[in-house]
Each structure stands twice: as C-alpha cells, then as structure tokens.
Amino acid sequence: MSELFLNIGTGLRWLGIAALPLLLLPLLTLALPKMFAAPANWLRPKLDAISSSTLGISMTLAVFMVGVQILVIVGRYLFDWSASWANDLIIYSFAGMFLLAAGSALKHDAHVRVDILRESMSPNRRAAVDLAGLYLFLFPICLLIIWSSVSPSFIRSWANFEGARETDGLPITYIFKTLVPLFGVLLSLQGLSEGLRAAQTLRRSSNGIDTESPLGVTDGN
C-alpha cells in the first residue's frame, strides 16, 4: 500500500517539475501574445475554479469546526467526556481552513497590502507591481515551501502512514503534513492566474484598449 503512494508521490514530483515552466506563461503572453494568449485564456478560469473549490472546503471546515468545538465543550463540562481525536478534528480543520483559502484570498485580493502608494497608481502600474511581486516573491516562496516540506521525514510519514501522537488521536498525521506542500501548490496556481490577469491588463493597455477592470477589484463574494 505504501509502495503505491510512494510511486504516486514520485510521479507527482516529476509532474510538478515538468509543470514548472508553466509559471513563465504570464511573461510569455506578454512577449508573444499571438502564440500564448489563447492557452492563457483557456487556463485562467480553470485555475480560478481550483481556488474556488478549495475555498468551498475551507468554508465547510469553518462551519464544521464550530460544531465540533461546541460538542467538545458540552462533552467536557457536562458529560465528563473527552477524546484526542475530537481535538485533532478541530486543529486539523483550523489548519485546513486557513491553508486552503489562501489561493482564493489571493484571487479576491483579501491579503492585506500597504495601499498608501497603490491608491494613486494607474491600473498598469498596479499590474506591473503584481507581476514583479509574483516572480520576485510569491513563486519563490511557494517553491521553497514545496521543496522544503517534501522532505525525507515527510516521505517517511507517508510510508508509515504516520498516526497520531496520542493513542486516541486522529491517525492521519501524514495527511495533515501534506497540507503544507498542498498550500504551496494551490497558492502558486492562483498566483499563476493572477499573473495572467496582470499580463492581460498590461497587454490591453499597450494595444491602446481601455482596461475596464483594474486589478485588485474583487468580483463580489
């Protein structure tokens, strides 16, 4: 069983490495718009859809953890009952909630910015800042997170299906640890989508077309 997962893991690693050049797509659409605009337009909604669906999971976990925590409180104070797995459920939901929503928060511009200067920037300028920030900051961070979290100890964790610290804990520590590289992957995918959006803004303005939706405007909820 663990053999199978290790093989899948190796496969995913190579897939990830093979997909790395994809991160250059926003720059390519700027350099060679004719060639790359079509695949970029095809890809962006797909990437956004991934973030939306992980946001759905995050929201479900948020509702779930309130319910579980209330049951744990009732159990502890009234029925003299407690279990590590119930506490693990809360902690794991918490971790999933904030890690899985990070991409969607990027999409909806919910990550705080220092907007003193940004306020007065043109949409073009903002797009340029976003593109630079993605390549200088966001992508390197995501790659570091993925690279450093898929460590030998992480692989051991999957090979042994690492259980909980407590005997009655939730025996899915290996899945818990997988949230970290998953966070890196999801964030870089949404980053790619943001990069494509920024590149589109820049391209439109260089073609003399007005940019009707400047970057950073959220689309409702």
CA distance 221 to 214: 17
CB pairs under 8 A, 24+ apart, for 166-172? 166/84, 167/84, 168/83, 168/84, 168/85, 169/84, 169/85, 169/88, 170/84, 170/85, 170/88, 170/89, 170/92, 172/92
Residue type, 8: I
> Of the candidates 7, 10, 122, 148, which one interacts with other proteins according to CB under 8 A?
148
Our finding on whether 91 is near other proteins (CB under 8 A) is yes
Compute the least distance from the CB of residue 130 to other proteins, in Å. 7
- Scanning 17-25, 27-35, 124-132, 205-213 for contacts with other proteins by CB under 8 A, the matching segment is 124-132
Q: How far apart are CA 210 and CA 140, in angstroms?
A: 32
Residue 38 binds to other proteins (criterion: CB under 8 A): no
The terminus-to-terminus CA distance of the chain in angstroms comes to 42
Q: Is 90 in the site for other proteins (CB under 8 A)?
A: yes
Q: Do the beta carbons of residue 62 and residue 97 sit within 8 Å?
A: yes
Asked whether position 20 contacts other proteins by CB under 8 A, the answer is no
Q: Among 12-20, 30-38, 40-48, 139-147, which window interacts with other proteins (CB under 8 A)?
A: 139-147
Computed on alpha carbons and rounded to an integer, the radius of gyration of the chain in Å comes to: 21
Site size for other proteins, by CB under 8 A? Answer: 65
Tell whether residue 104 is a contact of other proteins (CB under 8 A).
yes
* 140 belongs to the binding site for other proteins (CB under 8 A): yes
Range 55-84, binding other proteins (CB under 8 A): 55, 58-59, 62-63, 65-67, 69-74, 77-81
Among 74, 91, 87, 94, CA closest to 166: 87
Grouping H, G, I as helix, E, B as strand and the rest as coil, residue 172 is coil
Closest to 178 measured CA to CA, from 21, 47, 5, 18: 5
Interface segment toward other proteins; rule CB under 8 A; list 7-15, 30-38, 101-109, 156-164: 101-109
CB of 22 to other proteins, least distance (A): 19
Q: Which residues form the interface with other proteins (CB under 8 A)?
A: 55, 58-59, 62-63, 65-67, 69-74, 77-81, 87, 90-91, 94-95, 97-99, 101-102, 104-106, 108, 110-118, 121, 126, 129-130, 132-133, 136-138, 140-141, 144-145, 148-149, 151, 154, 176-177, 179-180, 183, 221
